[in-house]
A and B are shown apart, each in its own frame.
Chain A
Amino acid sequence: MHFLARFTRVLAVLSLLAAGLLPLAATAQFSNAAGAVVTTEQVRAELMAHAPDGAGPGQTVWVGLQIRHKPEWHTYWKNSGNSGLPTQLQWTLPAGVSAGEIQWPLPQKIRIGSLANYGYEGTVLLPVPLTIGPDFKPGLLSDTLEVKLAASWLVCKTECIPEDGQFALRIPVKSSTAGQGAQFDAAWRAAPVALALSDGSSVKIDGSALAVSVRGLPAAWQGRQLAFFPESPEVIETAAEWQQAWDGAAWTARIPLSAQRSNSPTVMPVVLALDGQGQRIELPVNGSWPQAAGSAQASTALQAALAAGPRTGLASAAPAASIGFWAALLGALIGGLILNLMPCVLPVLAIKVLGFARHADDRRAHRINGIAYTAGVLLSFMALGLLMLSLRSAGESLGWGFQLQNPAVVAALALLFTLIGLNLAGVFQFRQVVPSSLASFQPRHPVVDAFFTGVLAVAIASPCTAPFMGASLGLAVALPPVQAMAVFAMLGVGLALPYLAASFIPAVARALPRPGAWMDTLKTFMAFPMFATVAWLVWVLGQQSGINGAGALLALLVAVAFVAWALAQNGRARWVTGTVSLALLLMLGWNLGPTVTRQAPLAQQAVDGRWQAWAPGKVEQIVAGGQAVFVDFTAAWCVTCQYNKQTTLSDPELMADLAARKVALLRADWTRRDPAITAALQQLGRNGVPVYVLYQGGRAPQVMSEILSVKDVRTALAQL
């Protein structure tokens, strides 16, 4: 009894003590754990931290949201697949502390009926690195780093519930936090390993599927079936059947594209996995994304650019709202007309018009010549258009001027222009050089001659993209073939129109001075623009084949000039010099030809003042950082580009303005074939250079006129 009473009293005291301690214990728990955990009917979510060396300046601290799902429930990966949404984390951190990206652990493919998603079941930790800068000052009283997180996640079984939670955690600055190290270790082990891009690793757009090829995977994986997770959402048909195979050390797969694809990336980061181990590789996308079938509509960016036209003084051929097929035709016509004024085309036309003076009275012959010339221009433009469209549909990523991305074509043009120049300068006449049967052909058939002048005009006009042409050509490649060909034909009509009009209006021929010695002088003078064009082509080739290629081309040009001169000699001298020069040309051609056409290794992109080299994804990255970006899409062979570069883009005041507004300057060089740049141009609704674009956050990119004026850029800048 006594004992019992004592025992009861002890119990009472103990329970009193316990009661007194309870709130204390609860407070302790509150400050440590409460605020770090949110529990719903479907998940238990906890904010975790890993800071084994404390959280002082210079340290990297790991935080992360752990989600424990009730059985059958799941949340989503960064690409959620057919439905669902990725888990989103928004951090509130003290000054000097910044959060990185989520290091997404390997997901699994979760099928729901006929749909498929990428996500996590069971327990997952989404780790995020925090960088602690020198500016971080812990509070005076508490020596801790306070981390606040607003997280939202969509949790689904077959039904879906959007949930969110507020989390808070204090991480001691000076002492170690490592109690959850095991969970972080597991998350890091589950994160894919970065795999370097090696030759032959790529994604190719092949009709309505992606052809993926990856090299450099672990040798132990060869022959095994891999799981495939693309990080870019809305590209592939997530639920569709797909095939994979091993081709030696290369893993290949064919994955159907989504019929309702709304994403056209230029680089696709993908994760390949086997037995819980992942490899992540960023694959460049080759080929152009298929356009929606039969939809004759311009891309959003193009429309935005055209809509912005009147506002910013951009070259806009169409009424703001509806650039359609007809506007593209009009743009092509105006563009073709302006081509006549381009420095490479003008000499040829000038000589052609001189022909009027010689036969000022024969109006019928003029008309026939005019028609033949027009036919030559039209047919060449359409042939070039057809070739480009066919190659594009075969999966090559090409754009206007594509032929000049080939060094052999550049070299051939340089040879052609040298011969024309020598001919104009009077070194030889065509009838001296070619067999007499052919030579008599030219004067006897002025019609044929006029036709080939048209062909020549197109050949030399192709490096120039005149204003209005860019938008039209960009649209043309998205149109059905018949309409696209109509746009190309209309370009030809524009180019041919001035000469055709001149040949039909007698006043033009009459206005020319009488034939005389001045004509020869002018003709000889015209040799110099031709040689200037050659000098420029040699420079273009130098960009492609390096100094050795350019040197070899110069040697070939000398040899060709030698041949032309030799065949213009008379009698025995002709035979001797002709044989020697031809032998020399053949020998040089045989030996140096490959040097000319071989692409030299790309020199490290020279940093040109404030200009940086463009790379896929770079614009988005800079814009995401809150900076505006000006991109110069250019090529060495593009005359208009070079002109703008030397004038507007060298204007010191404008460059200072750009610097003052902290606009990042990127240069995308399309001198050589580059599928990534072709794809970027396509996103802007363009298909050739030059293109000048100002990107800024939250706005459609502003595309400026091809003939760039300081005022254009200023007007665009004023809207920043």
Chain B
Amino acid sequence: MMKRRSLFAGAALLAGLGMSLAQAAPSVGQPAPGFTLTDTAGKSVQLADFRGRHVVLEWVNPGCPYVRKHYNSANMQGTQQEVTTQGVVWLAINSTETASADYLPPAELARWMQDQKAAATHTLMDVDGRVGKAYGARTTPHMYIVDPKGTLVYAGGIDSIPSSRADDIKKAVNYVKQGVRQSLAGQPISDATTRPYGCSIKYKS
């Protein structure tokens, strides 16, 4: 009786596993989807290039007020600076479709990032939205951390206060700084999935 019950349980467990694999977006703890994208300088960049290092993914769109909240206040650049000086790779990804009013061609996006004194390792173009959709990215900004083994260890917001007010930044917990700090120290990340907030990503439909 007991035995049959646990056999049944085992079958249910397997069915559950099969289902979560079928789902598009990865959960924290699963392998981060690999990708190859072109950066604003026309260079091809692969996620696999950075195996053995932590990688932060930032979904960006300069036309979004929430992105500007974190760039105009220098919060995003400060976060980029802090983590890249510790050997972490920072990939800013723009999944805005070319038909959107927010779309910036590579050269203009590169200039905007330069004007902002951004410290991203690469700024990548994802105009067909494939990579954004593979990660389940919904908003700008939407942040992810991939560990050196290629496992997704963080998915969510840049910080803990979903608002457009720059004043809230100093009161908020910066989840990316916290996640990178904990992951580099070999600790589990205390807030591994959080709520992303910002504008919807303008995906190609």
- Chain A interfacial positions (CB closer than 8 Å to B): 82-85, 112-115, 117, 152, 154, 156, 158-162, 207-209, 233-234, 256, 258-263, 290, 292-298, 300, 303-304, 321-322, 324, 386-387, 390-391, 393-395
For the complex, give the distance between the alpha carbons of A256 and B205 in Å. 22
- The answer for the CA separation of A387 and B2 in the assembled complex, in Å, is 8
Interface presence of B162 (CB below 8 A): yes
A391 to B2, CA, bound (A): 10
Contact indicator A160/B66 (Cβ below 8 Å) = yes
Most buried by A among B129, B185, B190: B190
Q: Which of A296, A297, A298, A393 contacts B9 (CB 8 A)?
A: A393
Q: Which of A259, A263, A394 lies in contact with B26, CB distance below 8 A?
A: A259
Which residues from A are CB-within-8-Å of B190?
A: 300, 303-304
CA distance A553 to B92 in the complex (A): 68
**Inter-chain contact A294/B194, CB cutoff 8 Å:** no
- Residues of A with C-beta under 8 A to B129: 114
Q: Tell me whether B172 is interfacial, beta carbon within 8 Å.
A: no
Residues of B within 8 A of A256 (CB): 23
Q: Is the CB of B23 within 8 A of A394?
A: no
Give the A-B contact count at a CB cut-off of 8 A: 152
Shortest distance from the beta carbon of A582 to any chain B beta carbon, whole Å: 25
**5 tightest A-B contacts by CB?**
A297-B188, A162-B164, A295-B29, A390-B9, A160-B199
Majority-rule SS of A interface residues: loop
Chain A proximity mask over B169-205: 1 for CB below 8 Å, otherwise 0: 0000000000000000111111111111111111111
Whether A322 and B187, one on each chain, are in contact in the complex, defined by CB atoms closer than 8 angstroms, is: yes
B6 at the interface (CB under 8 A from A): yes
* Chain B residues near A391 (CB-CB < 8 A): 5-6, 9
A85 B203 Cβ-Cβ under 8 A: no
Contacts of B139 in A (CB 8 A): 82-83
Q: How far is the CB of B3 from chain A (nearest CB, A)?
A: 10
Out of B102, B138, B189, name the residue touching A83 (CB < 8 Å). B138
Spell out B's residues near A (CB within 8 Å): 2, 5-6, 8-10, 12-13, 15-16, 19-20, 23-30, 63-66, 100-102, 129, 133, 136, 138-139, 151, 153, 155-156, 162-164, 185-205
Known contacts A115-B203, A386-B6, A390-B6; is-contact A260 B63 (Cβ 8 Å)? no
Chain A residues closer than 8 Å to B2, beta-carbon distance: 387
Contact partners of B191 in chain A: CB under 8 A:
262, 300
- A636 nearest CB across to chain B (Å): 25
List 18 additional contacts besides A259-B26, A298-B188; criterion CB under 8 Å.
A82-B200, A83-B197, A83-B199, A117-B200, A156-B200, A159-B102, A160-B198, A260-B136, A262-B193, A262-B194, A262-B195, A290-B16, A290-B20, A292-B30, A294-B30, A296-B188, A324-B188, A393-B9
| A260 touching B205, Cβ below 8 Å | no
The main secondary structure of chain B at its interface with chain A is loop
Is there an interface contact between A113 and B136, defined as CB atoms closer than 8 Å? no
Q: Evaluate whether A260 and B164 lie within 8 angstroms (CB atoms) in the complex, with A160-B200, A386-B6, A390-B6 already known.
A: no
**Complexed CA–CA distance, A258 and B136 (Å):** 9
Which of A83, A260, A294 interacts with B156 by CB under 8 Å? A260
Check B28 against A83 for contact (C-beta < 8 Å): no
Name the contact of B202 in the complex, choosing from A117, A158, A303 (C-beta under 8 A). Answer: A158
Using known A-B contacts A156-B200, A259-B20, determine if residue A297 contacts B189 with beta carbons closer than 8 Å. Answer: yes
- Nearest-CB residue, chain A, relative to B26: A259
A293–B20 CB distance below 8 A: yes
Cα distance, A82 to B203, chains bound together (Å) = 13
Instruction: Report if A114-B192 is in contact (Cβ < 8 Å); known contacts: A256-B23, A322-B187.
Output: no
How far is it, in angstroms, between the C-alpha of A114 and the C-alpha of B102 when the chains are bound?
17
Contact A162 B200 (CB under 8 A): no
User: In the complex, are the beta carbons of A162 and B65 less than 8 A apart?
Assistant: yes
Q: Contact between B187 and A393 (Cβ–Cβ < 8 Å)?
A: no
Best-buried of A113, A298, A300 by chain B (most CB within 10 Å): A113
Q: Would you call A293 and B29 a contact (CB within 8 A)?
A: yes
- Minimum CB–CB distance for B194 against chain A, Å: 5
Q: Which residues of B contact A113 (CB under 8 A)?
A: 200-205
A161–B65 contact, CB under 8 A? yes
Selected from B19, B29, B186, the residue in CB contact (under 8 A) with A322 is B186
Query: Which B residues are in CB contact (< 8 Å) with A117?
Result: 200
* A207/B203 contact (C-beta < 8 A), A160-B66, A390-B9 known: no
Chain B hits for A114, CB < 8 A: 129, 133, 203, 205
Whole-angstrom CA separation of A99 from B132 in the bound complex: 41
- Smallest Cβ-Cβ distance to A162: which chain B residue: B164
Expressed in whole angstroms, the minimum distance between the Cβ of A389 and any Cβ of chain B is 8
Q: Is the CB of B6 within 8 A of A295?
A: no
Chain A to chain B contacts (Cβ below 8 Å), 22 pairs:
A83-B198, A83-B199, A85-B162, A85-B163, A113-B202, A113-B204, A114-B129, A114-B133, A117-B200, A159-B202, A160-B198, A162-B163, A162-B164, A259-B27, A290-B16, A292-B192, A293-B30, A294-B151, A295-B29, A297-B189, A387-B6, A393-B13
Contact across chains for A292 and B28 when beta carbons are under 8 A apart: yes
Specify which chain A residues have a CB less than 8 angstroms from the CB of B192 in the assembled complex.
292, 295, 297
Chain A min CB distance to B182 (Å) = 9
- Is the pair A162, B66 in contact by a Cβ cutoff of 8 Å? yes
Q: A209 to B191, alpha carbons, bound, how many Å?
A: 22
